[in-house]
Amino acid sequence: MFTGIITALGHIKTLDPIGEGRDMRLVIETPPAFLADPPVALGASIACSGCCLTAVDFGTDWFAVDASAETLAHTKLGSWTAGSRVNLERSLRVGDELGGHLVSGHVDGVGTAVSATPENASTRWVFRVPADISRFIAVKGSVAVDGVSLTVNEVRGDTFGVNIIPHTASVTGFGTLQPNDPVNIEIDTLARYVARLAETA
């Protein structure tokens, strides 16, 4: 489990096919402190732009993960190239501060950045999401966009808007995000279960 509070920005160093299949090994460069406190362990779960992946190798300023063809096909990871920026978060430990909301690291779908409009001291970002997950997104509810825990401020059909403050833009990939870019979307787990209960009531 994660909180949606990004603690480091990394970038893709290399992408290499595994064996003869369509799986890929990704090597992600990161600030050394991200892996050192506490020391990362082989097999640790790391959220990479919202996608929970397992560390299969690491050095002082990099770690490697294996992404299956399924993961590449159903998340934005399939569009990554060398140099792509990656929002990083280590898994939640018992006793850690829960600053965002509970995030599983299981991406529900790939959305698209529609627009970014200055709004007072922040920027209103609007995203379009697949129809099958749009119904789970509600005003004042939580959503994870590329692993970042955000509060939904508007919903219009298959689009929703959030406000990004300068600090968030500076420590996450929002600082370089552009309209039409893909984003990983994870809906709030609570919203999923509430909708399920309503369907069976």
pLDDT attached to residue 199: 66
Domain ranges, ordered by start, for the chain: 8-90, 109-200
Among 46, 40, 35, residue whose Cα is nearest residue 87: 46
Query: In this structure, are residues 171 and 34 in contact, taking their beta carbons and an 8 Å threshold?
Result: no
Rg from Cα positions in the chain: 17
Question: What letters, b where the CB count within 10 A reaches 16 and e where it falls short, cover 8-25?
Answer: bbbebeebeeeeeeebbe
Instruction: Please name the residues in contact with 21: beta carbons below 8 A apart, sequence gap of 6 or more.
Output: 69
Architecture of domain 109-200: Beta Barrel (2.40)
Q: What was the pLDDT predicted at 102?
A: 83
Decide if 3 contacts 92 (C-beta within 8 A).
yes
pLDDT tens-digit profile, the chain (201 residues): 899 999 999 999 999 999 777 899 999 999 999 999 889 999 999 999 999 999 999 999 999 999 999 999 999 999 999 999 999 999 977 666 667 788 999 999 999 999 999 999 999 999 999 999 998 999 999 999 999 999 999 999 999 999 999 999 999 999 999 999 999 999 987 766 666 666 666
- The residue assigned the tokens 């590449």 is 72
pLDDT of amino acid 95: 61
Kindly report the CATH number that applies to the domain delimited by 8-90: 2.40.30.20
Q: What is the pLDDT of residue 113?
A: 98
How far is residue 171's CA from residue 68's CA, in Å, rounded to a whole number? Answer: 28
Asked whether the domain spanning 109-200 has the same topology as the one spanning 8-90, the reply is yes
Q: Which residue has the tokens 């129809």?
A: 131
Helix (H) or strand (E) run with residue 149 in it: strand 148-151
